[in-house]
Structure 1
């Protein structure tokens, strides 16, 4: 019997090749789409899942009474937890800030020399790898950072500097803001997907760095340390948090009360950080679980659209199999056997679709990797093929269930007499499924338009400074990086054709700014404290980058750093929160916490127009600039250019660089490109959604085409009679298209409020967002109508121009 069923299934596939192609192609494309999305979701879900005791690992984060959140804490928190809590097995800190975002690493041995500016390096406590364990190729992770001036490299960096040799014991020169130091390589780790995109870790116990860290004794301020802890087994997280905040209040309560604010500490599970955390001062841009839900839903909808095609075409063509059902029932076949037969046919088609889908995945994976900016490999995810089998079974059952039940319900007497007709219920279900398909398609089209418009808005919204035509050079030269060296390099670069101005700072727009201080205005008290982020800059920084000065004056050459008579330039937000007006702020005094409650004064020199120093994911924060003075160490040089001949310009800049800094590598980036990297996750999601929306629309249109072909076949005699009676080609084509277009228009009506609600909810995640315009919905509807007309129109015109003689003869 099974052999007979398989023969009949294959015979039916070959007998209706066009409909079989639509079903097979649709199911294969749907399965391939789902597999690619599952592959992507699996990769995103791997982050921070490799730790041996992941359920006991937490990051300590903080939240103020005003709702502000920080992923970092103050310096003493980790040591306090380690010493005073029996529940804490180990605690460690990680440190990064704009000044050390890029450092120069160098290795020399005999004639061999390798050096480069490297990013994603961090200072870490000795016990860091005892908290966040990682697989090591060389060295002992438990003791790798114990010794002062030790460095642990990723396998990628190790190969870059040392080839395939074991680098443990080798000494590298690292240029930091504190000077040039020799660091001994004590280990090589294998990079794992993590919210910490580290290329190397350095011991925090470097002499100058350690002295600086030890002086940060305040519990409430200086939130620049990422604190990780490993709790002992069976520790109750909720009870521990309560105890933690009681302890924190005992240490920082008086300090916070004096400063006029309050905050609490919380534990954040390390395995949840990448997909679920969006706190202030994150180490790096995290993923977003919402986007995974969106992509998973799109994959499910695409597969559902393909299954609907199968259901619709199977039930629409039921009359062709009705006689077979009648004969089988007369011969004694029971309903459940017929259901199994038709389900088996659907499963066979699903298996064939899986084979085709596997080939599609293999072919499209390189393009998908380019689209998602990942390096996905099928061999890395054995579970993927388990998902493939599950999806195939679900697809076969979902696609075949309704047709199987529908076909097996025919009564043999009516079938054999040729009195079987499509019931109103069957027609209603078929039309309802078409409406559902296009509702999904229209919703996806609207989503693509809104996401694209929002991304374009964030990319084109004025940032408050000139981001284009700015070249950034990392400028880590240790103790030699003084203002006099900067002036020499500046003068040399200004002689290059196409360089309009040159400036420096310890940070630049687009990279996280972690440095901040607490201020209050003259005539107020510490109860009116304002947290202002600060950046040290060269005097000509603001003019070179095109910041708009609203009132007061800019810095003069030789401006001093923060002292009792220090000068500040603040943005509008900072001035307003301090209680001043933009016009009156210049010349006013503000007071800042210089450490241990010692409040000193500073003078507001000028006010600049609000600007986005970081991405538009967050609102504009109070921000201030301090002028660097004699002996200042800058981290980045920024050259404003007025030439489009980048290759020649960069050659000239590199020659000038090597003239003054022989032996130091020349590295550069464009400021606008660095800033746009803040939106990489959204841009990637937009591309993926657009790609898969096109797939969904194509599959839906294929199904509509199949139904149009079937409808034309069913109404061939009617069309012939109408032509004999004088109906025009246009009239007949319109008649055939009318029923389907009504369904598409109904789908647009249903999709519009659903898509509006979904997109309105999504936009609330953005501080700066577009408004939902009516043209977006009209354009989406127009696209759907156009696609449907093109799909139906060909078949409608083909049927309309058919000779009535051929139509009537066929009957």
Structure 2
């Protein structure tokens, strides 16, 4: 019996090839998208969920409250771990982690080969042995952690070991970090899983850190995002109670003036990847809202394809009414007929599913490049993926096939044999209209949202940031002291293509920041907010084209000067309660504990971070020739001279640092990286919007084709009676034009609500205007008209004599 059902279904589908092709194409595209989205969502939801104690692990974070707002940091002060170990407030275990990015690794010469230099692709982690107790990575590494108790010890992952020592055993060998630390390789471990926010390839013993960084590890003043503290709490612990105990313990040990503003917060490991408030070592966070949007888009695409199927199947009812009548006369009941038609739906869905597997395999590399992921697709080797695929085929079969099967199997045999079925009963016109309305509402909703997101991305790329970001090359100097490059200052400014050069702590806009407390105008207490310091030489303001509202630019200042020149921004001037920029001039400041300065100028506000964030108080400080806090060389390049300038900078670099790899980056690209994740998702959503429109047009094309076939004689009569090509085209199109317009009226307010809510995440954003909505409506209408007009014109151009012969 089952064989008969499928054989009959197969023959029916062959008889209606165009109907079958349209449905298979629409379903395969939607299933492909849903499979790819499933892979992305599953990957994002799996980040660091595999640790055995994942539910018990927390990161200790710090909030500093000021009158102007709260500063939140995922880091904690260096002495905190020691205090908590000595006064354990209900913690099972803890581990400190210090992550250092863009480190150069040198493999020393061995007598036969010269030294080899490598830049790390992932952060280097300075960790305590307990790190491998908290985070097991499914690799059982507890014993390996013991090797990190002593200073100057390192553990490599297999990939890094093979890279640095391809022809020999890595254990026992020596590597150098930034030509500053010599480390002995104590062990080699398997590569960590990809789905983690701890993408480390080199682990260094934590006691080594004191010889690597300039921070005082005993001082409560130092707070850097590179330093994290992870805690393991008892199972089912009362986190509020533990947090209170931790806060009490830490505040009892820190200086009194820091206690008032600090709040310690426990961030669950399971929330780490989904909270953009704090940074992660992977430099990636994905909000649950974004994952929810991806899931909704996958459902929308499947729904659009299923609507196509229902519309075309119900429209085909007139062709199959006699078949149903004959089957019922021969003894088939409604249940058997429903199984027959569901079998046809399943065959179509199965064919589409198999085709989608091929499409997913082909498009996955593009998706990996777009989202910078390493997803794999192996249907037979991944039970979860296979189960999702089979469930999807079942759901699509039932959702797309159940109603058409019910309609077709419900025909009365006598009426069906006489072809006297009511048109509404056979074709389901009202249902088709409703489904087309839903389909094009989804399409227009996606298009409007995509246009708004694209406009916001364009706004962020083109907005005047308040400084010059074009043709500025940044050369990192943090791998070694900047003193050597200072010796080549004159040579750098004379290089072909280099118009100006400046030694700086960080560019005007950067995620590399230095915030500190300060006192103003000899006041006895710190100000009620912190300031973001920009340390540089006297060329900083002119090179970046920062505009001054009052006062003057920096002048040359030797490093021996004890009073530094300072230029503040408008925001800082206002938060200091000064009514005009001129009032700030000549005022004294004490930055941190020992940096004295005098304000010589006030600059117009510029953006120092992503446009998601507001402008913060800034103090630009002239460090003269002091190199302790100089991490970049910035060079302004003449138009058309980029290559010459970079080649010249590389030659100077090699003179100063022959044992270091020359690197550079453009400032505008650094700023564009602020929005890299947003841009990637925008590209993905644009693709899905296009696919949604395409699937909708496939269904529209099929419906108009069917209408043209059903109304062939009517068209012939109308042409004989004098109807024009336009009249015939309008006859076929008017019903669907009304539906597209109605869909726009439904989609527009929904899109406005969702996009207005999304834009609230940006401090600086576009204003929603009717343009995006009108463009979406016009694009959808134009595509729908083109789709319909092709078939309508084809029907209208037929010979009316042949049309009148049609039965």
Pairing 1:354–2:373 present? no
2:230 equivalent in structure 1: 228
Provide the C-alpha distance between the structure 2 equivalents of 1:207 and 1:664, rounded to a whole number of angstroms.
21
User: What is aligned with 1:311?
Assistant: 310
In structure 1, the residue matched to 2:621 is 626
Correspondence for 1:434 among 436, 450, 456: 436
**Partners in 2 of 1:680 and 1:588 — Cα distance?**
40
Distance 1:155 1:355 in 2: 37
Match of 2:467? 465
- Number of residue pairs the alignment of both structures matches: 794
Aligned to 1:658: 654
Q: What SS does the aligned partner of 1:530 have?
A: coil
Partner of 1:499: 498
What is aligned with 1:29?
29
**Is the aligned partner of 1:107 residue 2:103?**
no
Q: Deviations over 1:502-535 (max 9, x none)?
A: 2122333554234221124337563742111223
**Equivalence for 1:575:** 573
* Aligned-partner Cα distance in 2 for 1:570–1:121: 35
Counterpart residue number, 1:271: 270
Cα distance change of structure 1 residues 50 and 712 upon mapping to structure 2, 3 Å threshold: same
Q: How much has 1:166 moved relative to structure 2?
A: 3.3
Measured after TM superposition, the shift of residue 24 of structure 1 is 0.9
SS at match of 2:791: helix
Tell me the equivalent position of 2:598.
603
Match of 1:71 in 2: 74
With 389-398 and 157-166 compared, the bigger mean Cα shift is at 157-166
Name the CA shift for 1:592/1:469 in 2 (closer, same or farther; >3 Å). closer
Contact 1:513/1:614 (8 A) holds in 2: no
Q: Distance in 1 between matches of 2:537 and 2:221?
A: 31
Deviation for aligned residue 1:651: 2.6
Give the 5 Å matches for 1:339-378: 339-378=338-377
Cα separation, partners in 2 of 1:68 and 1:635, compared to 1, 3 Å:
closer
| 1:71/1:282 contact within 8 Å kept | no
Task: State the TM-score, normalized to the length of structure 2.
Answer: 0.92
- Let me know the Cα RMSD of the aligned residues: 2.7
Report deviation, 1:82. Answer: 2.8
How many Å separate the matches in 1 of 2:539 and 2:408? 80
Q: Distance in 2 between matches of 1:528 and 1:654?
A: 43
Deviates more, 1:622-631 or 1:20-29: 622-631
Partner Cα distance (1:200, 1:561) in 2: 39
Aligned counterpart for 2:97 among listed residues 94, 99, 103? 94
Out of 602, 609, 614, the residue aligned to residue 609 of structure 2 is: 614
| 1:753 equivalent in structure 2 | 749
Greater Cα shift, 791-800 or 198-207: 198-207
Displacement of 1:313:
0.5
Q: 1:255 to 1:679 in 2, by over 3 A?
A: same
Distance 1:408 1:350 in 2: 20
Q: Secondary structure at the match of 1:569?
A: strand
CA deviation profile, 1:748-780 (whole Å, cap 9, x unmatched):
111111111111111111111111111111110
Matched-pair contact (CA < 8 Å) for 2:83–2:250: no
Tell me the SS of whatever aligns to 1:502.
strand
**CA shift at 1:247, angstroms?**
3.3
Separation (CA, whole Å) in 1 of partners of 2:141 and 2:92 = 25
Counterpart CA distance in 1 for 2:383 and 2:659 is 48
1:696 to 688, 692, 697: 692
Cα deviation for residue 86 of structure 1 reads: 5.3
The answer as to 2:405 corresponding to 1:404 is yes
Equivalent pair of 1:326/1:416 in contact (CA under 8 Å): yes
SS in 2 for 1:462: coil
SS at match of 1:557: coil
CA contact (8 A) 2:84 2:249 kept: no
Which secondary structure state, in structure 1, belongs to the residue aligned with residue 640 of structure 2? Answer: coil
SS of residue paired to 1:349: helix
Distance in 1, matches of 2:15 and 2:453, equals 44
C-alpha separation in 1, matches of 2:124 and 2:533: 22
* 2:196 aligned partner: 194
Q: Is the 8 A contact 2:199 2:281 kept in 1?
A: no
More divergent stretch after superposition (457-466 vs 22-31): 457-466
The alpha-carbon deviation at position 209 of structure 1 amounts to 4.0
Is the Cα–Cα contact under 8 Å of residues 504 and 537 in structure 1 kept in the other structure?
yes
Show the 5 A alignment for 1:410-809: 410-423=411-424, 426-476=428-478, 478=480, 481-482=482-483, 485-509=484-508, 511-522=510-521, 526=525, 528-560=527-559, 565-580=563-578, 581-594=580-593, 602-633=597-628, 634-809=630-805
Distance 1:242 1:694, change over 3 A: same
Looking at structure 2, the residues matched to 67 and 378 of structure 1 have their Cα atoms a distance apart, in angstroms, of: 44
From the superposition, tell whether residues 422 and 82 of structure 1 become closer, same or farther in structure 2 (CA, over 3 Å): farther
Tell me if structure 2 keeps the 8 A contact 1:220–1:252. Answer: no
Structure 2 runs not aligned, ≥5 long: none
Moved more, 740-749 or 155-164: 155-164
Q: 1:48 to 1:308 in 2, by over 3 A?
A: same
Kindly tell me: are residues 35 and 352 of structure 1, through their superposed partners in 2, closer, same or farther at Cα, counting changes over 3 Å?
same
Q: Given that residues 496 and 644 in structure 2 are in contact (C-alpha distance below 8 angstroms), is that contact kept between their aligned partners in structure 1?
A: no
Distance 2:782 2:408 in 1: 34
Contact kept in structure 2, 1:222 and 1:516, CA below 8 Å: no
Q: Does 1:291 align with 2:293?
A: no
Residue 50 (structure 1) aligns with = 50
Contact 1:60-1:72 at 8 Å conserved across structures:
yes
Q: What CA distance in whole angstroms lies between the structure 2 residues aligned with 1:386 and 1:295?
A: 20
> 2:149 — aligned with what?
146
Provide the C-alpha distance between the structure 2 equivalents of 1:468 and 1:187, rounded to a whole number of angstroms.
46
Task: Confirm or deny: 8 A CA contact 1:75 1:224 kept in the other structure.
Answer: no
**CA–CA distance in structure 2, aligned partners of residues 363 and 256 of structure 1:** 57
Cα shift readout 1:338-363 (whole Å, capped 9, x = no counterpart) = 22222222122111111111111122
Q: 1:208: Cα distance to partner?
A: 4.6
In structure 1, the partner of 2:261 is 262
**Structure 1 unaligned spans of 5+:** none
Greater shift, 440-449 or 526-535, is seen at 526-535
The answer to whether residue 337 in structure 2 is matched with residue 338 in structure 1 is: yes
- Looking at structure 1, the residues matched to 280 and 532 of structure 2 have their Cα atoms a distance apart, in angstroms, of 11
- With 202-211 and 338-347 compared, the bigger mean Cα shift is at 202-211
In 2 relative to 1, CA 370–117 (structure 1 residues): closer, same or farther, beyond 3 Å?
closer
- 2:2 and 2:231 map into 1 onto residues whose CA distance is 61
